[in-house]
Every structure is written in C-alpha cells, then in structure tokens.
Amino acid sequence: MSTLTLGKALNTGLRKAMEDDPKVVLMGEDIGKLGGVFRITDGLQKDFGEARVVDTPLAEAGIVGTAVGLAMRGYKPVVEIQFDGFVFPAYNQIVTQVAKIHARSRGKLPMPITIRIPFGGGIGAVEHHSESPEAYFAHTTGLKVVAVSNPADAYWMLQQAIAHPDPVVFFEPKRRYWDKAEVDLDAAPPPLFSSRVVRAGDDVTLLAYGPMVKTALQAAEAAEAEGRSLEVVDLRTLSPLDLAPVEESVRRTGRCVVVHEAQTTLGLGAEIAARVSESCFHSLEAPVLRVGGYDVTYPPSKLEEEYLPDLDRVLEAVDRSMGF
C-alpha cells in the first residue's frame, strides 16, 4: 500500500505501462525535460529516453495525427493534451480519424491510442485552461471516455486505458492532482468501464464523476449531520455508461441528482437523467435533477468559485428532490 497524490498515481501508472510494454510511447508538449506542466510525466524521459517520451511542437492536430500513424504500426501512443481547451485544434483528427479508422478498415487497423486531458476548473486559470469538453467526445461513436476521481483509479484506469485496443479519451481532474490517498499497487482493479458506489445511503442518489465526486462526498457528509442519507456513485466511465449500479441505487432511494462541472444544457447529465427516468420511472419519487456549470463562458479566476458547482448547490438540489 502506497500513499500517492492523484498526479503521482498517474505518473506511477505511466511508468508501469512503459515497463510492461515497449510499444507504449508518450507524446506531448513539454512532457519530456519539464515533465509536463503538472509534472505528470516527471522523470520518464530520463528513464525511458527521448524516443519513448517525445517533446512535441505546439501542434495538437499534428500530435494526434502522428499518434494515428504510430498506432497503425503497432505502437500504443499516449498523448497528453496540455490543457482541456487546447484539444480543439486536434478535434478533427480525434473524431474523424482516431474514432473511425477501426470501423473504416473493417477491423484491420485498431487504434490503441490514449488521449490524456486535464479538465475542469478550480486552479485559478482562465478560459481554454478550465474547460469540461467531455460531452463532445462521449457523443462520438468509436471513442471510449473515462474520468478518474481518486489516486487508485488514476493508477489503475490509466494502465487499463493504455492496454485497451480502442481509443480512450482519459479525463483527469486537474484540481484534484494534489489530493492524496492510499493506493494498493497489487490489488485487482475493477473493470475499466464500470461505475461504483463510493458511499452508501438511502434517501437520495448522487451521481458524479471526475472532480465532482469529492464535492458529492462532502455534500453527503454534510447531509448526514442533518439526518439525511445520500448515496454517492462515481460514474468513472462516460462512454460507455455503466448504469446498472445507478439504476439499482435509484430504485432503492427513489431520488437522483446528477452533478458535473460542465455546462448543464446538453451536458452528460441530460443523457443520464433521461436514461434513469426511462429505466426507473416507476421507482422515482421526484424528477431527476441536475447540478452543473452555468451556460456562460468560463469566468475569470476571481469568479470561478461562483461558477463551479459546490456543496451548497448540491444540497439545494437535494432539498428540492426531497420536497416532491
């Protein structure tokens, strides 16, 4: 058992993947000598060499396009997008090439590419550095999309994503990079594309992923002091969604609140709310509610705490749910 920050867990997971498979190659801006702006790849170029940890030009489309070529030749590229908002120059490559080549080639050309994206706000940065673009990718057939929330998942899910034969967009909650927890480096991890209950409860089901899992857990703790029991489910996988544990929970609690940082309108919460409403209609005591970002451009750092969903906004939604 090791105590690791989420960032260090990612670094350790990358190191293990590179040790296990010489075909794993890392690519990205400033990931070599600098170790990345968040130091996730710190020390890897020194230990594995410049041929396997590649400092690229500032050209996201070129980085992902090169990863496509490497994947065609049997490599397993792991691409780092420096900040969430920088992924859009590569969007065309991701949705028209990375996501489609396996089907286009009738299965002859797998695309074992992992695209790491630090996402979300909370670090005092500005627009293009604090985005939550996960819905764009979850909507794209051919891509798998996951989001980690804690060091153990960061360590294991990154290795599982790299080993997966299909492309995986791997979202990392940048404001949680410094959160610490114990990680069992020898445990058998749960399946990559699975959600799980991280706190049991009876009154309301809270669904969250990435940075909002910690917020949901804090809300559950605060609600307990008021005599309410909230169950928290970490979705972990966004495409495909694993809703079996969610439906089991909602059928028992009868109430559901979905929480994410991304803008509420047409965010993943909308799809999840629709699916839960369809499958759990006769068990629901209240409509499925959503807590998300406002439909505005990400604000300057002085205002981001007003923008980001917090404990009070989650508990307000719980109050509304309980009021039906």
| pLDDT at position 317 | 98
Q: Are β-strands 256-263 and 289-293 bridged in parallel, bridged antiparallel, or unpaired?
A: parallel
Residue percentage of the chain with pLDDT more than 70: 100
268: its two tokens = 């993943």
| pLDDT at position 69 | 97
Asked whether residue 126 carries a pLDDT value surpassing 80, the answer given is no
CA–CA separation, 64 and 60 (whole Å): 6
- Per DSSP, 282 falls in state G
| pLDDT at position 127 | 81
Q: Are 72 and 57 in contact (CB under 8 A)?
A: no
CA–CA separation, 102 and 143 (whole Å): 11
Q: Are β-strands 144-147 and 114-119 bridged in parallel, bridged antiparallel, or unpaired?
A: unpaired
pLDDT confidence band for 1 (50 / 70 / 90)? confident
Q: Are 179 and 151 in contact (CB under 8 A)?
A: yes
| pLDDT at position 202 | 97
Span 195-223, mean pLDDT? 97
In this prediction the pTM is 0.96
Q: Where are the beta strands (DSSP E) in 61-212?
A: 76-80, 114-119, 144-147, 168-173, 180-183, 196-199, 204-208
Strand partners, 78: 26, 114
pLDDT tens for residues 53-106? 999 999 999 999 999 999 999 999 999 999 999 999 999 999 999 999 999 999
Cβ neighbors of 191 (< 8 A, separation 6 or more) are none
CA–CA separation, 117 and 50 (whole Å): 22
CA–CA separation, 165 and 225 (whole Å): 46
Cβ neighbors of 52 (< 8 A, separation 6 or more) are 18, 22, 24, 25, 26, 45
Asked whether residue 298 carries a pLDDT value surpassing 80, the answer given is yes
Helix axes 268-279, 244-253, angle to 10 degrees: 60
| pLDDT at position 230 | 98
| pLDDT at position 257 | 98
pLDDT tens for residues 136-176? 999 999 999 999 999 999 999 999 999 999 999 999 999 99
Say how many CA atoms lie within 13 Å of 323 toward its Cβ: 7
Asked whether residue 213 carries a pLDDT value surpassing 90, the answer given is yes
| pLDDT at position 175 | 96
**Residue 24's CB: how many other CB atoms inside 10 A?**
22
Active site residues: 129
Instruction: Please give the distance of CA 138 from its chain centroid, rounded to a whole number.
Output: 11
- Per DSSP, 241 falls in state B
Which residue ranges form the domains of the chain, and what is each CATH number? Answer: 2-183 (3.40.50.970), 196-323 (3.40.50.920)
Asked whether residue 321 carries a pLDDT value surpassing 80, the answer given is yes
